[in-house]
Amino acid sequence: MTDTLVLRGGTVFDGLGSPGVVADVVIADGVIRAVAPGAAAHETGARVVDCAGLYVAPGFVDAHSHSDMVPLMADAQPFKLLQGVTTEVAGNCGFSFAPLDETSAAVVDAMYGELACAIPSPPGSFAAFLDLVERHGPTNHLAYLVGHHTLRLTANGAGDELRPGAVERMQALAAEAFEAGAVGFSTGLIYPPGCFADLAELEAIARVAGAYGRTYATHMRDEGRHVEEAIDEAVAVARAGGVRLQISHCKAAGRANHGKSAALLERIERARLAGVDAMGDQYPYLAGGTVLLALLPNRAAEGGAAAMTARLADPAYRVALRADAERGDPGDGMWAATTPAQVIVTGHRDPAAVGRTVADLAAADDGTDPFDTLCDLVAADPAAMIVIEMMAEPDVRAIMASPLVGIGSDNGPPLGLQHPRTYGCFPRVLGTYVRERRVLRWEEAIRKATSLIARQFGLAGRGVLLPGAHGDVTVFDPERIGHAGTYTDPAVTPEGIETVVLGGRVVVDGGTFGGERAGRVLRA
């Protein structure tokens, strides 16, 4: 059996934005050894894959994943490999599954259990969690951020007020995570408990990240009416720590905020000119996906799931909560940014609610007010998930065209009714926005899917197709690549991904996953 693989005669893209050139790619012992026309002629006994007429690119790097617990599932999960993704950055939006103790693990399971693949969150250190993932065997490579929610829950509990010493405890836990290999830290400033943090708390963690040369990734405090102020806050955190800044799933959210893509991009450009290494990522859809409780004001979730459920049972509390929700200021939730008809329940303890909109469920319940239906749904399942339409196509295109914004799927686990980005984000970018709508050139889209993201998270030797780089490669048919999944039928296998190579091993051959768990945990 040879350890040499030759990808022969495809149009090769280096991942840095250069136009493709017809060449052979030689991979030996998991490393790219040569990229040149005719290089295959010098290899004997190698496995040869004919790539004539196909595009050969570095394996795609997903900037924004919630695949943290996927490797712990019983079966290998190829949903990312089938998109050409060889590396994911997990632990986003403040959600990581370490470090946890028994108490904080129970809170995570109660409020965000849908992200855990129906597996109980494992108490333990960040190092222990990475070891656990490694033992189970990832299907593709995974790099992990440590989540601010998790740090705060473990150091401070679910309350909104900080206890004495909590910030110092968060700093110590973050340092332990960085020592273990976390590539950065993340926040989700619209979700509890992260939404209760002030700037000083975030800056304190950023200073620890800066000491380790790590990255700050943020789901900002606002992605619509106050997006400018939210970016300013993110930039201030990054500047305090001297760290790279990754602005997660860039968008102009909410009907009243359509057109704000220009303001968002201008703020990122301004930050870079001021010396902060700021970038962003984006998924190519008009709808997002999140937890149902994100529609409610932050104060609804104070104290954790049990306290929230008890408060939501009080009709008078709901009246006051609704007034805040309809105001739509930062901290007031996303209710004012959408309509009940645009909110599809994708995960809930009541299977009869799944696949239906909040408007449909309200009408079916003898015309119950949709806000009361929302409160009933959250009270019945605080971890319920939704897909929510919020964006406008011109904003999606404008953000995608920026050279400062890469690709991040924001996928959930491959269970139940997920957003189609879980199964088809990268093929959709290439098929819909490159080939069909011509928003990007092939070489620029591939850069956004590879080196732009790898660089931002310090993933050395990944995201490029050059001699000496890791042997992670995606081969696809530019005429066929795409994804036909929808919000109500998302789990459709993408078209056009022909071959995926992970560490020099062919793991997808002819569009079919071979079953091997060949991924690694990538530790900084």
| Structural domain contains residue 416 | yes
| Structural domain contains residue 360 | yes
Q: Considering only CA atoms, give the Rg of the chain.
A: 22
| Structural domain contains residue 257 | yes
Q: Is residue 373 located within the same domain as residue 253?
A: no
Q: How far apart are CA 436 and CA 314, in angstroms?
A: 51
Q: Is residue 340 located within the same domain as residue 318?
A: yes
Q: Is residue 262 located within the same domain as residue 358?
A: no
With beta carbons less than 8 A apart as the criterion, state whether 6 and 43 touch: yes
* Residues whose CB is less than 8 angstroms from the CB of residue 210 and which lie 6 or more positions away in sequence, other chains included: 240, 241, 242, 243
Please list the residues that pair with 124 across neighbouring strands: 100
| Structural domain contains residue 473 | no
Give the tens place of pLDDT for each residue, 215-246.
999 999 999 999 999 999 999 999 999 999 99
Q: Is residue 150 located within the same domain as residue 254?
A: yes
Range of the domain at 304: 295-387
Q: Which of 371, 387, 403 is the last residue of a domain?
A: 387
Question: Nearest to residue 301, comparing CAs of 159, 186, 202?
Answer: 159
Give the torsion sign (CA, 503, 13, 509, 491).
Answer: positive
Which 3-state string (H, E, C) describes 118-140?
CCCCCCECHHHHHHHHHHHCCCC
Give the mean model confidence (pLDDT) for residues 158-172: 95
Give the tens place of pLDDT for each residue, 185-213.
999 999 999 999 999 999 999 999 999 99
Q: Is residue 380 located within the same domain as residue 434?
A: no
Domain count, the chain: 2
Q: Which of 387, 421, 451 is the last residue of a domain?
A: 387
Q: Is residue 159 located within the same domain as residue 189?
A: yes
| Structural domain contains residue 363 | yes
The dihedral over CA atoms of 425, 429, 430, 432, expressed in degrees to the nearest 10, equals: 110
For the domain that residue 76 is a member of, what is the CATH number? 3.20.20.140
Give the tens place of pLDDT for each residue, 324-382.
999 988 889 999 888 999 999 999 999 999 999 999 999 998 888 999 999 999 999 99
SS3 of 55, please?
strand
Token representation of residue 200: 């000083």
Q: Is residue 187 located within the same domain as residue 282?
A: yes
With beta carbons less than 8 A apart as the criterion, state whether 59 and 505 touch: no
The pTM (predicted TM-score) of the whole model is 0.94
| Structural domain contains residue 512 | no
Give the tens place of pLDDT for each residue, 461-511.
999 999 999 999 999 999 999 999 999 899 999 999 999 999 999 999 999
Q: Is residue 147 located within the same domain as residue 223?
A: yes
| Structural domain contains residue 426 | yes
Angle ∠(94,98,104) on CA atoms, nearest 5: 85
| Structural domain contains residue 523 | no
Q: Is residue 351 located within the same domain as residue 427?
A: no
pLDDT computed for residue 43 by the predictor: 82
pLDDT tier for residue 69 given thresholds of 50, 70 and 90: very high
Average pLDDT score over the chain: 95
Q: Is residue 231 located within the same domain as residue 273?
A: yes
pLDDT exceeds cutoff 80 at 1: no
Give the mean model confidence (pLDDT) for residues 97-126: 93
Q: Is residue 316 located within the same domain as residue 398?
A: no
Token representation of residue 464: 């490029």
pLDDT tier for residue 2 given thresholds of 50, 70 and 90: low
* Residues whose CB is less than 8 angstroms from the CB of residue 409 and which lie 6 or more positions away in sequence, other chains included: 62, 64, 65, 83, 85, 283, 421, 422, 425, 426
Q: Are strands 47-50 and 215-219 parallel, antiparallel or unpaired?
A: unpaired
Q: Which of 441, 461, 481 is the last residue of a domain?
A: 461
Q: Is residue 228 located within the same domain as residue 338?
A: no
